[in-house]
Amino acid sequence: MASRSLFQSDTAAHDLGLSLLGQLGTGDGLLSSVVPLRAVLMQMLTLYSSAVLVIAGFIVLYYFTLVIVDAAKTGQAFRRIDPVWGPLRLVIAIGILVPLGGGLNSGQLMVLQLSQWGSGLASQLWQQVGEDSQLVQPMIARPGPVPALALVRALVLRDACVAYTTRLAYEQQTAYRRAREAIKSDKPANDAPVLTPPTLYPVLAQPVATNADGSQTTPYGWTERPYFCGSTTIFPPTPRTEETLFNLLKQAHVDGLRRLEGRTQEYAQDYLQLAMGQRLLNNRSPLTLAEIYETELRFANSPGFNSALGQHLSILHNQLRPLGWVGAPAYLDSILRLNLRLISLNASLPQIDPPEVLIAPPPLATATAAETKIYELLHRIDRSWGDVARVPPLSAAGLGGLSTLLSHAVALSREVPGTGAAGHQLRVARDLMQTSDYDWATFARQNPLVGLAELGTYLTGKAAGLLAGAGVLDSVGPVTGPMVVMITALGLMAFVVSIALLLVLPLIPLVRFFLGVAVWLVEVFEALIAIPLVALAHLRADEHGLAGQSAILCYLMILKIMLRPALMVLGLLGGFILFLILLGALNSLLAGSMPGVINSGQISSLWFVLVSGVYALLLLGIANACFKLIDWLPQRTLTWLQGLLQPGRNHGQTAPEPTA
């Protein structure tokens, strides 16, 4: 690489660091409200430099007079002035103070040029990180299928409700029509008794509703009760406005759902035939049905997904690359949040709300015979699945699944009248606080960044479930007071922990880096003010060397300004590597200890949330310590340079004279 390209950004026209320097100096692109202020500042700097130049003229006149008087008195010229270094230092001082274009002198323009070279060097360093997308691909979550058995279970319940309700509706309509015909044939019309019309109607798919988050919900019911047999919510792909990666994920979910729906309708018919007393051997398996859906989602490690991921990372890099080194933390933050988007998108697709009659069973005293039959059938089907998961985990971004989660909370917390109602509500509270469904073995094996995102999304879903369940329990259940308060407190704690992991943690390097950028600009502005005074320091003609001890600290400051961007980039990458190492170790420890915490009894969810809170606090401290390198490296550089250039000096200060 040529030396010229080392200190120049490849995208100088869009480099954010160079843009900031240009706006501070003589460049364009300022905010309209800042233009008058900078114009005034340029006038002030011009007047300031002129004043320092006048002062320098008086100092030169003083030394010139001193030489003449001393030569006349002693007969020796340049007795108090070094004949070699004195004139050279005078030339350097005048050269620094020479006013040039834009109202800045040559020294100030030199500060800006060195700062631009430092920004270009930092951009070249950061360019090495984003050149190969394979470097970050291991840190990205490989989306797996949602709990397919839960999806199959929900679809079978929906299809069984549709088929059985429609069958009963046609039976009622047929009986009603026959009864009317019999009445008309036996008695005159004016004496015919008034018959009650059918209470059920054939179930049809209602018009698709588009939600605020872009998802589409299809209710299944009749006009008066469109959600009688539940609803199906999907996030359809939008190829024109969406990235290829997420479009691929959404399309796979939709294709898998469409392939699965035809099979679950057949499976629901088998349930109905068995319920009607027909001895039909059900040769299908829920696992087989689940595999149909999972087949569409097995592209997670396939070339198709890897290609889409590589394309997404390349697009992200190309969008941030023109910004130069200042865009480095934004790229890192985007990588951290990409895991969250992938996990959230995958966990929220698709969503099947259970039938209304299963969520809120008809009261025995007022229920019609038909609705009672439907509920009893669906209840038997639901119980036959045992411990298979009911609801996919809610994700941080997929809050469209909140309706499904709330429906599940209502189903769990429905009021049970009579003896044992309180015990039922206590069991519901226990089920809501269950935390034994998290895969800690996978958490320990996978990339620590992926595990961090998955734990954060799990806690978000658990928080939403606890808060929704507490609200339902407080409204419909006999168990209130301390139990509801405890569930609510756990939900709030889980939500705060998830916010710390998913929102606050990725912001730490971003905040530290941009504070470092602000300090860098402040130092550049300080150097613009200080460089004319450095010229005066060169006018001390009785010292050896080009600069002397009085000016060397300013040169060190300018060199530090030049090196700060590159050191900040190195600190960002080094801090990220250290964070990954410590995060992996902490995840292994947590995965080893958490199963014992979960098995600690009925209050396992309390320990789960508390330990997760400690984990989040520890991670925030680790991230803060690791990314301190962004500030620490530039701060320590001046100390290193002072030790190199000023041996025996303490931060550039002259050692005190020994006392007598």
What are the boundaries of each domain within the chain?
Answer: 3-131+509-645, 145-319+349-386
3-class SS of residue 277: coil
124-133, 224-233, 302-311: least confidently modelled range: 124-133
Distance CA 199, CA 547 (A): 99
Tokens 């669906």 belong to 378
Work out the average pLDDT over 58-85. Answer: 70
Choose among 304, 42, 55, 276: nearest CA to 164. 276
Q: Can you tell me which residue has the tokens 């800006």?
A: 112
> Ramachandran region of residue 130, left (φ > 0), alpha (ψ -120 to 50) or beta?
alpha
pLDDT over 80 (residue 213): no
Three-state secondary-structure class, residue 597: helix
* Confidence band, pLDDT 50/70/90 cuts, at residue 215: confident
Residue 16 pLDDT exceeds 80: no
Of all helices (H) and strands (E), which one includes residue 216? Answer: strand 216-221
83 vs 494: which has the higher pLDDT:
494
pLDDT at 257: 86
Enter the tokens of residue 272: 């109905």
**In the predicted model, what is the mean pLDDT of residues 81-87?**
66
Structure tokens at 62: 């003083």
CA–CA gap between residue 119 and residue 18 (Å, rounded): 7
Q: Name residues whose C-beta falls within 8 Å of residue 548's C-beta, 6 or more positions apart in sequence.
A: 89, 537, 538, 540
pLDDT at 66 over 90: no
Q: Which of 331-340, 366-375, 414-423, 589-598 has the lowest mean pLDDT?
A: 414-423
635-654 burial code (b ≥16 CB/10 A, e <16): eebbeebbeeebeeeeebee
Does residue 142 surpass a pLDDT of 60? yes
* 3-class secondary structure, 352: strand
Does the structure show a pLDDT above 80 at 399?
A: no
What's residue 203's pLDDT?
93
The answer, yes or no, to whether residue 659 has pLDDT greater than 60, is no
pLDDT at 622 over 90: yes
Q: What is the pLDDT of residues 422-461, one digit of tens each?
A: 555 555 565 666 676 677 888 888 888 888 888 888 888 7
Instruction: Answer whether 535's CB lies under 8 Å from 97's CB.
Output: yes
| 8 A C-beta contact, residue 568 and residue 635 | no
Counts of helices then strands in the chain (DSSP H, E)? 21, 5
Pick from 312, 467, 417, 380: nearest CA to 161 = 380
Model confidence at 26, pLDDT cuts 50, 70, 90, reads low
Mean pLDDT of the 642-647 span: 51
Task: State the Cα–Cα distance between residues 314 and 244, nearest whole angstrom.
Answer: 12
CA distance 256 to 539: 81
Say yes or no to pLDDT of 379 above 70.
Answer: yes
Encode pLDDT of 482-528 as tens digits.
777 887 888 899 889 988 988 899 889 989 998 998 898 888 888 88
Count other C-beta atoms under 10 Å from residue 171's C-beta. 13
What mean pLDDT value characterizes the chain?
Answer: 76
Say which residues have a Cβ less than 8 Å from residue 447's Cβ, sequence separation at least 6.
138, 139
Residues 6+ apart with CB under 8 A from 291: 148
Distance of alpha carbon 128 from alpha carbon 6, whole angstroms: 12
Q: Which of 266, 354, 307 is nearest to 134 (CA)?
A: 307
**pLDDT single digits (tens) 361-370:** 777 655 567 8
The residue type of 502 is: L
